[in-house]
Every structure is written in C-alpha cells, then in structure tokens.
Structure 1
C-alpha cells in the first residue's frame, strides 16, 4: 500500500514539475517592436519672388499687383507707402506686401456744388465739406484735386447703400460745378444742365478711378442714391446713360427687359397701387436694389423721395416721386440685372 502511495505521489510531483516547465516555456512575452522613425520631408515655405519696391528720392512705392484680382484684391499702392517709425526700432519690408488686402475705395459718388466756380473752390477747401475732385465749368482741361485719394473727404455725410453705411469711409467723391435747381410756381424742381466739357471731364476722371480701384458698376452712384431723403444731386440732367453707353461707367437697365416687364407693371399700377401688399413689394424692391428704406406698406414721404432718387438716375423724363408703371418696370429690370 505504501509502495503504491509512494509511486502515485512521485508521479504527481513529476507531472507537476513537468507542467510548470511547460507553463514557463509558453508564458507570453510581448515582442519589443523596434520601429524605424519615418523620414519627415521638411517643406520650407518658399515665398514667391515679389516685385521690388521702388524708391524715388527716399519715398517708397509699390506699383505691381500680386494679389488675386478675381476677388477684387489688390496690393498696388497708388501713392507712397506710409510706414510707422517706432522709436528705437527699424520697420523693414522684407516680406512686403501681404497678398490679403484690397482698396479702401469701394464707391464713387457724384455731386453738384450749387455754387459758381470760385465759390465752389472756396467752400470745398476752406470749410467743413470737401471732395477728392472738383470739376469746374470754365471750359478748360483742368480738374482740381482737393483731397488725397487715400484720405477721407467729407462729401457723403449720413449715407448708406446696400449693407454699407457712412460712405465717406469707403468712397471717392467728385463735385461738379452746377447751380442745382430752382422751384417754379407749382413747386416743381427745374434743374440746370451740365456742359459737354464737364461731362467729358467727369467721364474721363470716373473711368480712371473705377479702373484703378476695380469699383463695380453697382457702386458708382449719385449723392441722391445714398441719401435720398436729403439730397438731389447731381440731379436728373446728369447724363448717366451716356456714361454707361459711351464709357462703360455705372449702371443702366436693359431696355428689352423693361419692355417685357412693362405690361405686368401697368396691371400692377392700375389695379393694386394702393394695396399695402403692393406698396410693401415696391419698397422691398427699392431696398433690394440698394436704397436705405424700411418697407412700411404706405406711400410715405421717405418712399416718395426714394422713388424720386431712382427717377433722377434712371428715369429723368419724370421725377415726381410716384411709382408709375414705367418706373416700376425699370426698378424690376435693374434688380434682374444687378441684384446680389
């Protein structure tokens, strides 16, 4: 019996030791993975070579555009480059210019002075009103510059167009010598014409400005467009269509579109004119085009003056401030062509 127990115990011990050896051999040991670091290719940001800044008598200029013109961006400096001069430090133009920039000058606004030539010069240079340029009525070939294009002139006052306000900040102003209007016995405004020489000067000047600053047609405006409740200039005798046709400056509607819209417009005016819903629709159309008007559903004074401003610019044959069928068709044609 003892011998049997001994044999069983010895066998268990041998089996147990053998098992321990096997377990030891098969114990999992994670492999140490030796990975080679990935080779990182260093990509240095290499600036494209930029045109040089020109220096004339110690004054610096940069006259080449390296920005994206399709986004209305432009790095050209039409005047000298203005730089800071911090005490104890040197401002360098090693990386000048950055391509992400554009012009401050987004609008071109046209005015008349309601003063003769000599008085126009005096007021626009010596008082708290100004413009970048003044076009005289002397029949010569001179245009007076009064304010640097890079600076704000005080010509627009309280003003708005589409989403922009206070257009002095973003515009160039041209004043034209003209006596404005007188009122007849009925109160109707009688405007003074512009001379051919003045119109040619304005056209050449405007063409130069809108080309250099890439000012879109929708931003070439009358003072009456941006302040319709306060201003009438340059009035219905200023030849906007001539500027559009002969110089490709500013806006004008397509005649075919206006004619297509005229039949429906006549129906609207004859059947819906005094309906608040139609008045609201007309006011919304004025607002959509760009005028600063809040739809009210009433033919109020603000609406009348805004319609008058539209007529000064686009329907000079009749500027009574009443939304007749032709004015309504013209407004819709303008929105078809120029709305955002």
Structure 2
C-alpha cells in the first residue's frame, strides 16, 4: 500500500515539473526586434544658376544663350531687353530668361533697288518701303542700317515660302543698289551686274546675320523666290553660287546628283511629255515641294512660267526663259533631294 502511494506521488511530481517546463518555453520565447523604416530625406534640387543680365547706363542686355541650340532655341538678346512698365507694379527678372524661346528672324531676303545710290536712300528712308540694310555701290566699307533688326521692315510684301506667308513678319531684308534690268530688242530682260565690292559686303553681312539667328540655307532667299509672280530681284546676275561656295551661305545643288537626274530626264524623253497635263502637274508639285507658292493647275499658266523663271534666276542664271527643260528639271530634283522639308 505504501509502495503504491509512493509511485502515485512520484508520478504527480514528474507531471508537474514537465508542465512547468512547457509553460516556461511558451511564455519566454524571445521575440525578434521590430525595426522602424527610415524616413528618406530628399535633397533639394539646386536650380541652375543663370548668367547675369548686364546693365549699361540703365539699359539691360542678356548676351548668353541658356537654350537648347540643337532645337534652334536661343535666348541671346542682340540688343537691349524690352520690358513692360505696368503702372503701380514692378516687372522683375528673377527667373529671366526661360529656355524655351528662339528668334523671330527666320529668313534673310535679298533685293536690288532698281535705283542709283542717292535715290535708293531716299525711297528706302522716306517712303512706304524699307529694308533693314542697304548695301551701296560707292566703293567704301560702309553698309547702311535703316531699320532695327527687331522691327518689321516693309520689304517682302505679299510673299510665300514653304509653310510661311507674309515674310515681313519673320525676315531681315537687305537691299542692294543696282539698276535692275532693261529689255532688249527681242523683249528679253538684260540685268545689270553687281560690283565685287558689293558682293563682298553682302556676303559679310549675310554671314553675320545667318550665324547669329541660325537661319538655315533654305531660308536665304531672293525676293523673286518668295514673290515670283511680281518680282525679279536680285536677278540672275547675283552670284548665289559664289556665296554658297566661298561663304557657305544659302542653297546650291550637287553637280553629280544634278547630272544623274539630267541623264534620266533625257532618257525618258522629257520634251515629248512637256505639254502633257500630268507632267505639268508634276512640275508644279515639285516647285511647291521645294518652297514656291505654286498652284497645281496642270497647265502652263503665267504664274507657273514666272515661278520657273524665278527658279532659274537663282539656280540656273545662264538661261532664264521660264521653260522647264531637262537641265532645269534636273536641278530642281537635285535640290529637292538635298533640301527636303523637315
């Protein structure tokens, strides 16, 4: 009996100890420490410091570009900065200049005056026509400025090139003293030459303008290019190829490309197709593609002939009869290939 009670008591004791150990393991199980996420501190973006505006005798200038030159953006002011003066308020230039801007001056248009020096000055300064610059024919080193480049001069009139109209709004006009043309006994226009001194002046002036305003070659034009139905200047005696070759100004075709188009035109008997409406329509379309404001009528109307004549003044001055022969056609094709509308 004693032995039985002893065994029962020992069993109860062992069970009690085992239960306490199990409780202890459950109760005191260590917990992993909780890590709080760190708060990210943003470093403030430092605004790029813009070049300072210079001030001379109370007139402000900004002569550094901060725009993207690859996008034709240029913030340089080639003259004083013009600002509003609202009554009771102050206009400040704390954030001047915005990078998203470029120049109004997108074209350079060349003219002749059809007048001698003294009359050219009088007409261009005292009457309802003007230009930004006048290149005289007196043999000196002077070029006359008549209109601020930031203002509109009245030189282009009703005009068109590619997608632009009324080019007074976005061009710089250069007049060159030259007597223009006279008609010979057959009615053909005979144009007066330009002096070497004038050509050098025009080249230097044009180079400065196209460089400052990033004017592309396709936008250096004759008055006759933008208004072929009514203008002939500066005519076939103006040396466009010389400006292209020696000064990298304006457009010109590649001779090898022109020759390949010429051979193609001859081999396809272009003269046989000359009066076909489909060919005329194609000519008008190609002139339009290049930049002229030609209507596609499908007939050799007066406007089309004058446009071809204007094209020849610029790119085929040896023959400006207004006829789209194989060589003129080849030059037009070569130019369209070289200077496509972007």
Same topology, TM > 0.5: yes
The CA distance in 2 between the partners of 1:286 and 1:38, in whole Å, is: 68
In structure 1, runs of 5+ residues without a counterpart are: 1-35
Name the residue aligned to 1:329. 330
Displacement of 1:38: 9.4
Match of 1:292 in 2: 293
SS for the counterpart of 2:144 is strand
SS at match of 1:207: helix
Contact 2:271 2:325 (8 Å CA) reproduced = no
SS of residue matched to 1:88? coil
The Cα shift of 1:150 comes to 0.4
Alignment of 1:195-214 (within 5 A): 195-214=195-214
Cα deviation, residue 47, structure 1: 2.1
State the shift of 1:186 in Å: 1.3
Give the aligned CA root-mean-square deviation in angstroms: 1.3
By how many angstroms is 1:41 displaced?
Answer: 5.1
1:269 is displaced (CA, Å) by: 2.1
Matched residues, number? 305
| C-alpha deviation, 1:40, in angstroms | 6.7
Give the whole-Å Cα distance in 1 for the aligned partners of 2:45 and 2:164: 37
- Say which SS state the counterpart of residue 323 (structure 1) adopts: coil
Aligned residue number for residue 49 of structure 1: 49
Structure 1 match to 2:26 = none
The answer as to 2:117 corresponding to 1:117 is yes
Moved over 6 A (4+): none
**Bigger CA drift: 291-300 or 45-54?**
45-54
Instruction: Identify the residue that residue 95 of structure 1 maps to in structure 2.
Output: 95
Counterparts of 2:178 and 2:45 in 1: how far apart (Å)? 57
Deviations along 1:104-161, whole A, 9 cap, x unmatched? 0000000000111001001000000000000000000000000000000000000010
Per the alignment, in what secondary structure is the counterpart of residue 190 of structure 1? strand
Secondary structure in 2 aligned to 1:115? coil
CA deviation string 1:61-119 (max 9, x = no partner): 00000000001110000000000011111111000000000000000000000111001
TM-score normalised by length of structure 2: 0.87
CA distance in 1: counterparts of 2:297 and 2:43, whole angstroms: 60
Matches within 5 A, 1:164-203: 164-203=164-203
> Are the counterparts in 1 of residues 153 and 173 from structure 2 also a CA contact under 8 Å?
yes
Equivalence for 2:236: 236
How far off is 1:43 after superposition? Answer: 6.2
Q: CA deviation at 1:271?
A: 2.3
Q: Deviations over 1:155-208 (max 9, x none)?
A: 000001000000000000000000000011211000000000000000000000
TM-score between the two structures when normalised by the length of structure 1: 0.88
Report the 3-state secondary structure (helix = DSSP H, G, I; strand = E; otherwise coil) of the residue aligned with 1:294: coil
Q: Distance in 1 between matches of 2:164 and 2:41?
A: 48
CA offsets 1:234-271 (integer angstroms, 9 cap, x no match): 00000000000000000000000000111122234222
**3-state SS in 2 of match to 1:60:** strand
Aligned pair in 2 of structure 1 residues 275, 54: CA closer, same or farther (>3 Å)? same
- Residue in structure 2 matched with residue 153 of structure 1 by the alignment: 153
**Structure 2 CA distance for aligned equivalents of residues 225 and 295 of structure 1:** 17
Report how far residue 227 of structure 1 moved.
Answer: 0.2
Instruction: Tell which structure's C-alpha radius of gyration is larger.
Output: 2
Partner of 1:216: 216
Secondary structure (helix, strand or coil) at the match of 1:262 reads helix
The 1-side partners of 2:147 and 2:333 are apart by: 37
Report the equivalent of 2:256.
Answer: 256
Aligned to 2:303: 302
What are structure 2's unaligned runs of at least 5 residues? 1-35
Does 1:81 find its partner at 2:81? yes
Equivalent residues of 2:220, 2:251 under 8 A apart = yes
Q: Quote the residue 1:8 is aligned against.
A: none
Q: How many angstroms apart in 1 are the aligned matches of 2:294 and 2:89?
A: 51
Q: Provide the rounded CA distance (Å) in 1 between the counterparts of 2:204 and 2:299.
A: 42
